[in-house]
Structure 1
Amino acid sequence: MTHLALYQASTKFITALKVLLLLSFGALLGACSTTKALNSAQQNQSRSLQPQVQLQGRISIQYQQNDQPQTVIVGFDWQQTPQDLHITLSSPLGQTIATIQENASGARLEQAKQEPKVAANIESLLIENLGWTIPVSGLKAWLQGFDLAANGQAIALPASDYYRLQSQGWQLDFVSWQADAGIIHPKRIDLYKNTEQVGEMKIRIVIEEWQ
């Protein structure tokens, strides 16, 4: 086999592997439909917004770039405290794509073999450097099953499947919920928004582990 043939075969294999990994991640993102439903006592359980949380999961993002549809699927590790927020994004192979930190001083993004980038907030950093973004400011409450009123007061959302919410210009569907060590929180959240920067955005978030 010639070097060209070997190169072409290798390229096809890598492309097929990438497709397989994306399909596998997509299956994981859809697997939450089998989550056991909360009972009535759990649905009505009193909840409060936690100042410190750590969770892991997967995010699927559909958007447009140069009028072409794009899909990104990443793993994420989310560590939130009252002072700052750390997010690690990883590829289907588990390789770190980016690490992000946000505090009162602003936001900072680090990628391998690149100079760190800074901005006023994470949303700006993502759109400028990765071409897509997620509503981080809202997710600080939404991931726990809460929304914030205009005065900043946390409002607990009904822990019922397919609960729909309009907030901060986004439509959110809280598709399913789960209980981890007595803590009730969303299992899957679907988000939709039509943006000027990247067209119609569809985001699916699945929380796989809550600590």
Structure 2
Amino acid sequence: MRRLLLLCLTLTLAGCGAFKAQPPLPATGSWEDYQQRVAALQQWSLDGKVGIRTADDSHSARLQWQQQPGDYRILISGPLGQGGARIDGNDQGVIIDVAGEGRFSAQSPEELLQQLLGWSFPVRQANYWVRGLPAPGLSYTPTFLENRLASLEQGGWIIHYSAYAKDGGPGLPLRIRLQRSDLTIMVVIKEWELPAASNTQTTF
């Protein structure tokens, strides 16, 4: 249970259960314009569901992620608000408080996963993936539909995007699935909140 909860927390993205795949909603503007607008976002928040499915187990929870210039806070809560965890991080390090387990700290989320679980996950890259962007500094293979990513292969992971917001904002992802070997991570984002200049509030 702790392994799944910590992974849910540090991934900062994913969803729960299975959902019916749908094509991304039509997007306006070019792919290059989308990359520039979304990569420039320094402040945003999302509210959704996070979950992990392995060959042996599965876990789901609510995800709330608040991003500010220089730091972030991620809240994970279980069904009916029972249990959960909080992560506070910046360039100096990360602290995770897990209900019933205690407090853990490290220089980075990746380092913390390595210490606690013996393996890691590219959390910094996932920061880009959740926004529908390839992570910088790594080669990747994309496919596109309506000027947005339909899928992305990068760093040994396959990321599928099956729905995007269709409001007047930049059209951020709403449903994402990440896969590697027998691990499947899924996300359903119910709401994105952005600064007024690029504001979008999407209830899914």
Using the size of structure 2 for normalisation, the TM-score is: 0.68
How far apart in 1 are the matches of 2:66 and 2:104? 20
Name which of 154, 170, 187 aligns with 2:157: 170
Structure in which a larger fraction of residues adopt helix: 1
Name which of 194, 204, 210 aligns with 2:186: 204
How far apart in 1 are the matches of 2:73 and 2:120? 15
- Which structure has the greater CA radius of gyration? 1
The question of whether the paired residues in 2 share the 8 Å contact of 1:180 and 1:210 is answered with no
Using the size of structure 1 for normalisation, the TM-score is: 0.66
Q: Which consecutive unaligned segments of at least 5 residues does structure 2 have?
A: 1-15, 194-204
Tell me how far 1:182 sits from its aligned partner. Answer: 2.0
Tell me how far 1:51 sits from its aligned partner. Answer: 1.5
Tell me how far 1:175 sits from its aligned partner. Answer: 1.7
- AA in 2 matched with 1:79: Q
Tell me how far 1:127 sits from its aligned partner. Answer: 6.5
How far apart in 2 are the matches of 1:132 and 1:75? 24
How far apart in 2 are the matches of 1:130 and 1:184? 35
Name which of 45, 51, 55 aligns with 1:60: 51
CA displacement, residues 99-137 of structure 1 (integer Å, 9 cap, x when unaligned): 011211111101235431102222443576589976431
Are residue 30 (structure 1) and residue 19 (structure 2) matched?
A: yes
- AA in 2 matched with 1:201: L
Cross-structure match for 1:146: 133
Q: For the structure 1 residues 34 and 179, does the alpha-carbon distance in structure 2 shift closer, same or farther, using more than 3 Å as the test? A: same
CA displacement, residues 156-208 of structure 1 (integer Å, 9 cap, x when unaligned): 984648712111221111122113442311111110113xxxxx211011111
How far apart in 1 are the matches of 2:153 and 2:112? 24
What SS is found at the alignment partner of 1:138?
helix
What SS is found at the alignment partner of 2:124?
helix
How far apart in 1 are the matches of 2:62 and 2:118? 17
- Count residues in correspondence: 171
Name which of 28, 42, 49 aligns with 1:51: 42
The question of whether the paired residues in 2 share the 8 Å contact of 1:43 and 1:159 is answered with no
Alignment root-mean-square deviation, CA: 3.3
Q: Which has the higher contact order (CA 8 A, sep 6+)?
A: 2
How far apart in 2 are the matches of 1:103 and 1:97? 21
Name which of 84, 97, 106 aligns with 1:97: 84
Tell me how far 1:81 sits from its aligned partner. Answer: 2.4
Higher mean Cα deviation, 42-51 or 200-209?
Answer: 42-51
The question of whether the paired residues in 2 share the 8 Å contact of 1:54 and 1:77 is answered with yes
Cross-structure match for 2:12: none
How far apart in 2 are the matches of 1:100 and 1:146? 23
- AA in 1 matched with 2:166: A
The question of whether the paired residues in 2 share the 8 Å contact of 1:108 and 1:125 is answered with no
What SS is found at the alignment partner of 1:149?
coil
How far apart in 2 are the matches of 1:186 and 1:94? 25
Cross-structure match for 2:64: 77
Q: For the structure 1 residues 88 and 130, does the alpha-carbon distance in structure 2 shift closer, same or farther, using more than 3 Å as the test? A: farther
Tell me how far 1:85 sits from its aligned partner. Answer: 2.0
